[in-house]
Amino acid sequence: MTKDKFQQEVSTLKTFFTSYCEDKHENQKKKIYNLEYKDETFSFELNLCEDCHELISYSFERLQNCPHEIKPRCRKCPNPCYERTQWKSLAKIMKYSAIKLGLKKLKKVFSLKK
Protein backbone atom coordinates (compact mmCIF):
# COMPACT_ATOMS: atom_id res chain seq x y z
CA MET A 1 0.00 0.00 0.00
CA THR A 2 1.33 3.45 -0.83
CA LYS A 3 1.88 6.15 1.77
CA ASP A 4 -0.92 8.21 0.17
CA LYS A 5 -3.33 5.27 0.43
CA PHE A 6 -2.28 4.72 4.05
CA GLN A 7 -2.90 8.39 4.84
CA GLN A 8 -6.28 8.25 3.11
CA GLU A 9 -7.29 5.16 5.12
CA VAL A 10 -6.18 6.81 8.38
CA SER A 11 -8.12 9.95 7.49
CA THR A 12 -11.27 7.92 6.83
CA LEU A 13 -10.96 6.12 10.16
CA LYS A 14 -10.41 9.42 11.99
CA THR A 15 -13.46 11.03 10.37
CA PHE A 16 -15.76 8.09 11.00
CA PHE A 17 -14.68 7.50 14.60
CA THR A 18 -14.91 11.19 15.49
CA SER A 19 -18.39 11.48 14.02
CA TYR A 20 -19.62 8.34 15.80
CA CYS A 21 -18.03 9.02 19.19
CA GLU A 22 -19.21 12.64 19.35
CA ASP A 23 -22.80 11.48 18.84
CA LYS A 24 -22.83 8.29 20.91
CA HIS A 25 -20.38 8.62 23.80
CA GLU A 26 -19.34 10.91 26.60
CA ASN A 27 -16.06 11.45 28.43
CA GLN A 28 -13.89 11.98 25.36
CA LYS A 29 -10.22 12.52 26.01
CA LYS A 30 -7.53 13.78 23.67
CA LYS A 31 -4.83 11.38 22.67
CA ILE A 32 -1.88 11.94 20.35
CA TYR A 33 -1.11 9.28 17.78
CA ASN A 34 2.21 8.80 16.01
CA LEU A 35 1.89 6.15 13.34
CA GLU A 36 4.93 4.83 11.50
CA TYR A 37 4.47 3.63 7.94
CA LYS A 38 7.23 3.07 5.40
CA ASP A 39 9.73 5.34 7.15
CA GLU A 40 7.22 8.16 7.54
CA THR A 41 5.49 9.33 10.71
CA PHE A 42 1.88 10.43 10.71
CA SER A 43 1.03 12.48 13.80
CA PHE A 44 -2.38 13.71 14.86
CA GLU A 45 -4.64 14.17 17.85
CA LEU A 46 -8.03 12.55 18.38
CA ASN A 47 -10.71 13.33 20.94
CA LEU A 48 -12.53 10.04 21.63
CA CYS A 49 -13.83 7.97 24.53
CA GLU A 50 -11.63 5.18 25.88
CA ASP A 51 -13.49 2.40 24.01
CA CYS A 52 -13.18 4.24 20.69
CA HIS A 53 -9.49 4.95 21.35
CA GLU A 54 -8.95 1.22 21.89
CA LEU A 55 -10.78 0.22 18.72
CA ILE A 56 -9.14 2.86 16.51
CA SER A 57 -5.71 1.89 17.85
CA TYR A 58 -6.51 -1.71 16.95
CA SER A 59 -7.62 -0.56 13.48
CA PHE A 60 -4.44 1.49 12.98
CA GLU A 61 -2.34 -1.53 13.97
CA ARG A 62 -4.15 -3.72 11.45
CA LEU A 63 -3.76 -1.05 8.77
CA GLN A 64 -0.03 -0.69 9.43
CA ASN A 65 0.41 -4.45 9.08
CA CYS A 66 -1.77 -4.94 6.02
CA PRO A 67 0.14 -7.39 3.79
CA HIS A 68 -1.51 -6.33 0.52
CA GLU A 69 0.32 -4.09 -1.92
CA ILE A 70 -3.02 -3.00 -3.35
CA LYS A 71 -5.23 -2.82 -0.29
CA PRO A 72 -8.71 -4.29 -0.77
CA ARG A 73 -11.69 -3.13 1.24
CA CYS A 74 -11.53 -4.98 4.53
CA ARG A 75 -14.94 -6.57 4.08
CA LYS A 76 -13.77 -8.09 0.76
CA CYS A 77 -10.31 -9.13 1.95
CA PRO A 78 -9.41 -12.76 1.23
CA ASN A 79 -7.48 -12.93 4.53
CA PRO A 80 -9.31 -10.80 7.13
CA CYS A 81 -7.09 -9.71 10.01
CA TYR A 82 -9.75 -8.31 12.34
CA GLU A 83 -11.08 -10.39 15.23
CA ARG A 84 -14.83 -10.95 14.84
CA THR A 85 -15.89 -8.74 17.79
CA GLN A 86 -13.71 -5.83 16.67
CA TRP A 87 -14.93 -6.24 13.10
CA LYS A 88 -18.57 -6.02 14.23
CA SER A 89 -17.84 -2.90 16.29
CA LEU A 90 -15.97 -1.26 13.42
CA ALA A 91 -18.73 -2.12 10.94
CA LYS A 92 -21.29 -0.50 13.26
CA ILE A 93 -19.22 2.70 13.45
CA MET A 94 -18.58 2.79 9.70
CA LYS A 95 -22.26 2.24 8.87
CA TYR A 96 -23.49 4.94 11.26
CA SER A 97 -20.90 7.49 10.18
CA ALA A 98 -21.29 6.80 6.46
CA ILE A 99 -25.04 7.40 6.67
CA LYS A 100 -24.60 10.54 8.77
CA LEU A 101 -21.91 12.04 6.55
CA GLY A 102 -23.83 11.09 3.40
CA LEU A 103 -26.94 12.86 4.69
CA LYS A 104 -24.84 15.93 5.50
CA LYS A 105 -23.59 16.02 1.90
CA LEU A 106 -27.13 15.69 0.56
CA LYS A 107 -28.34 18.47 2.83
CA LYS A 108 -25.51 20.68 1.59
CA VAL A 109 -26.32 19.92 -2.06
CA PHE A 110 -30.00 20.71 -1.64
CA SER A 111 -29.35 23.89 0.35
CA LEU A 112 -27.11 25.16 -2.48
CA LYS A 113 -29.88 24.70 -5.06
CA LYS A 114 -32.18 27.30 -3.50
CA angle 73, 79, 84 (to 5 degrees): 85
Instruction: Tell me the pTM.
Output: 0.86
* Residue range of the domain that includes 82: 3-112
pLDDT tens-digit readout, 60-101: 999 999 888 888 787 788 888 889 899 999 999 999 999 988
Closest CA to 15 of 75, 113, 94: 94
State yes or no: pLDDT of 23 exceeds 80. Answer: yes
Task: Report the number of distinct structural domains present in the chain.
Answer: 1
- Residue 103 has a pLDDT of 82
Residue 55, judged by CB atoms within 10 A of its CB (0-12, 13-18, 19+), counts as: buried
